Structure 1
């Protein structure tokens, strides 16, 4: 008799909804694609990678060879960029993979992972996938971290704290002194610096002082390599050693290694593009403040979050989508009726603002 295969599955995952990824342009109808898609929904770098990456790919021939599982070349290059010794660095297929590995390393079923919400959804995603409990400490009305409720939220089951600096999806920066108070709890603390290059604020210099401090970064935002999935972490040696044993042996593919290497040889070019994005972010923020149904929040990243008042955010998202502009919609606790706009080029800002003004006139 045929068995019901579902009875062999983990029952606690029956209600697991998964991560809601952004819509791909390929999912849009042909008429919308003909308008020219403006993708401002995933915090990608609209300028793309360094020209050195494209040039290196033109002569790349190692498609048939597995990448170096020890990440020797990549770790050496990252050590030069970060100022942190190579033995403290582990790379992964995006920083998402490293979040997953850290949860697996520290969290048993029933253990707790704490973060300050709203924040990056993957912290909760991987915690619950591992059978842990995600503990949310609410931010204030301006999305700043508030530590007043922290003592009550910490329990003997707390095994890991995630803090995004700056935060996604709100763009809010976290003062260093706030993060230091988390580190002083003695619990393992992961500081997610995915948008480090847009702020210049880092705790990398404190790694030698605090054995419970871990830092995550990515090439997706500043270096324009989101499609190649390259992330890395700066860890205490004991953590790096364990992660090295846990990670997939070939988790960063050969093309991604080449792209990361060439990016690190062209930092000045890439940081020039980052500076263009930061300047455009400030211009977009000013323009958004002039639209009466939007309340933008100051951002230290490459996007701006807005609360929508007097209109339905989902309707606005769909109207923009029909006009070829993809933006991110949120309607979760503390982010009800909200939209997030990634920063594009000047012409992208102009197009977005024009459409938002037209929607305001309806």
Structure 2
């Protein structure tokens, strides 16, 4: 199935071969690096004067163990955004399209439009869940990828796993599930389901629960053929040596991440209660943020930014999100500051 979906030019092309694809060890005279060393150094990270492993093998191996999947089913990228872009370039020809289930993360549409692909959309239902038949009815023979996000950004809710699996069974293209917030959720990832559905691609990131948004590392769990095509067209050294090392180190910090999760979920519950007491409608969340609705939400967001330098995200112009704002769960002290400021404005 995968080969039939891939663009002909991508199948036919010869990938760029970088120096470190050929040799990982030895005395290097092949890549015009500075053999004298680096102008700066970081403790614990060596050979900054050398190009990194183009396949991030150590990171992929660590992710495979962490996820309980084969490392051959793991692709590491420069943030999930790179992987979104690569998937579109692999599968979507000029004149073809992707379908985005909205409201959701805006980069799916931006990446498709940047690549010259068409963008179709289908709304979640009133409960912010997938209407499988409505999604399938919105596709055309030119639709190559369906993008969805679970837990969904900006609504915060988990999409029903059965609905996603049904899409994988019935859609004759790629189904991408962005699980950036899955570590905060009450139900498990779909990562292991890539063994059951060759057209399923699950995206994950180090930006959220791991607290490493600044290193720009995301990853995909996918059919081995999909990973091979991602490797074929990616930039030669898409993850730098520092980011890769930090990501590997983070995977060993399970106790720290568990503590982060406990605090964030406790604060999420406390904030939900406080917002309801102030008269806000609060939508169920399986993420590290809350989507709330209030008649003057847009005005509140602007005043918080202008008068108190407290920044929340306004979504009132989006379908299904009238008078809604998204609020990240921060530290207890920061949350108290925000709640107090909002109370003064309502």
- Same fold judged by TM-score > 0.5? yes
Q: Give CA deviations for 1:207-261 in whole Å, capped at 9, x if unaligned.
A: 1111111111000001111011000001111110010011111111111111101
Report the counterpart of residue 190 of structure 2 in structure 1. 203
- Pick one of 211, 224, 228 that aligns with 1:237: 224
1:291 positional shift: 1.7
Residue 316 of structure 1 is aligned with which of 300, 312, 317?
Answer: 300
Give the alignment's Cα RMSD to 1 decimal. Answer: 1.6
Task: Return the match for 1:94 from 52, 66, 79.
Answer: 79
List alignment gaps of at least 5 residues for structure 1.
Answer: 1-55
Pick aligned residue for 1:120 from 101, 105, 112: 105
Q: Distance in 2 between matches of 1:258 and 1:355?
A: 40
**Stretches of 4+ aligned residues off by more than 6 angstroms:** none
Matched with 1:212 is 199
| Structure 1 length-normalised TM | 0.80
Matched-pair contact (CA < 8 Å) for 2:95–2:117: yes
Where relative contact order (Cα < 8 A, 6+ residues apart) is larger, the structure is 1
Counterpart of 2:278 in structure 1 is: 291
Shift of 1:61: 4.1
Q: 1:228 to 1:173 in 2, by over 3 A?
A: same
What is the CA-CA distance between 1:324 and the residue it aligns to? 2.3
Q: Distance in 2 between matches of 1:216 and 1:281?
A: 24
TM-score norm. by structure 2 comes to 0.84
* 8 Å Cα contact 1:108/1:130 also seen in 2: no
Could you tell me which residue of structure 2 aligns to residue 26 of structure 1?
A: none
Aligned to 1:257: 244
The question of whether the paired residues in 1 share the 8 Å contact of 2:129 and 2:160 is answered with no
User: 1:133, 1:334 → 2: CA distance?
Assistant: 23
Contact 2:101–2:146 (Cα < 8 Å) also in 1: no
Aligned counterpart, 1:69: 54
* CA distances 1:307-360 after superposition (whole Å, capped 9, x unpaired): 221x2x332112211212111112223223321100112112211111110001
- Assess, with a 3 A threshold, how the Cα gap between structure 1 residues 336 and 57 changes in structure 2: closer, same or farther: farther
- C-alpha offsets along residues 31-87 of structure 1, whole Å, 9 cap, x if unaligned? xxxxxxxxxxxxxxxxxxxxxxxxx95443443222110211111111111111111
In structure 2, the partner of 1:85 is: 70
> Structure 2, unaligned stretches of length 5 or more?
1-40
Which residue number corresponds to residue 21 of structure 2?
none
Alignment-derived partner of residue 158 in structure 1: 143
Q: Give the stretch that moved more between structures: 191-200 or 85-94.
A: 191-200
Counterpart for residue 326 of structure 1:
311
